[in-house]
Amino acid sequence: MVFRDLPFVERVRTLHTEGFGVEIWSWWTKDLDDLAATGARFTSMSGYVDGELVDPDGADRLLASAERSIAASRVLGSPVLNLHGTGLDDRGLPVRPVEVVTGDMWLAAERTLRRVADLGARHDVVFVLENLNLTVDHPGVPFARAADTRALVRAVHSPHLRMNLDLYHAQIGEGNLVELVRESAPWLGEVQVADVPGRCEPGTGEVHHPALARVLAEVGYTGTIAMEAYAAGDDHAALRAFREAFTR
């Protein structure tokens, strides 16, 4: 999402030179050996190719592609694999939208995520379930709110399934971010940030990121904080703003 004028491998190399870890979407469209050769530290990557949580056939496809993702993660050394409530197309829209999430869907999702957590335990990786927003970016995604992902992660109760708390999506869909961080702290596996509106770096919108940094420190969070955001202007300036907002 930054240095978009550069070839992808050069983006990764530049971020590494700047002292940042790297996260990637859609690992199957990348040359993993070339990315590994950059020496970059990869903190997270897509944990599935297709499938969904609520349909039996979709669950089997999700698990099969999660196994492929684990194999890909070995090339990059990425310890965290990211999931959503359903497969997304290249525009971020659900392949099969869900208008109403039923009780049976909740139970099916829990069963699927238990299988995902067991897979993570067998291979010593952590899957994280990311919240999204329905209003702007991802209409029709089931289990989109952070409250939803937290409920599912709590129900499965495994160290190999955690929350990816995306505070950009949460600000749009839920708000009350400080309390959301506090309530979610025991189940966090990753935190992602971008400002609202615009999905750019901290300091470009309404979210007070230094306050969130303080709360994350207070609850003892020591994991990755990722800027899943575009640069409002200069890419280097965006990275500086991100670093400054979350340096304690």
How would you classify residue 210: left for phi > 0, otherwise alpha for psi between -120 and 50, otherwise beta? alpha
CA distance 47 to 40: 19
Question: How high is the pLDDT of residue 99?
Answer: 85
User: Residue 192: CB partners within 8 Å, gap ≥ 6?
Assistant: 130, 164, 165, 166, 167, 168, 225, 226, 227, 228
Decide if pLDDT at 86 tops 90: no
Which of 91, 189, 86 lies closest to 144, judged by CA?
Answer: 86
User: Residue 242: CB partners within 8 Å, gap ≥ 6?
Assistant: 193, 201, 202, 227, 229
Q: Give percent of the chain with pLDDT exceeding 70.
A: 100
Question: How high is the pLDDT of residue 97?
Answer: 86
pLDDT tens digits for range 207-229: 999 999 999 999 999 999 999 99
Higher pLDDT residue, 93 or 186? 186
The pLDDT of 65-69, averaged and rounded, is 97
Residue 166 in tokens:
């995306």
Start-to-end Cα distance in the chain: 25
Dihedral sign for Cα atoms in the order 114, 119, 124, 130: negative
Task: Tell me, yes or no, if the pTM score tops 0.75.
Answer: yes
pLDDT tens digits for range 88-136: 888 888 888 888 999 999 999 999 999 999 999 999 999 999 999 999 9
CA distance 220 to 215: 9
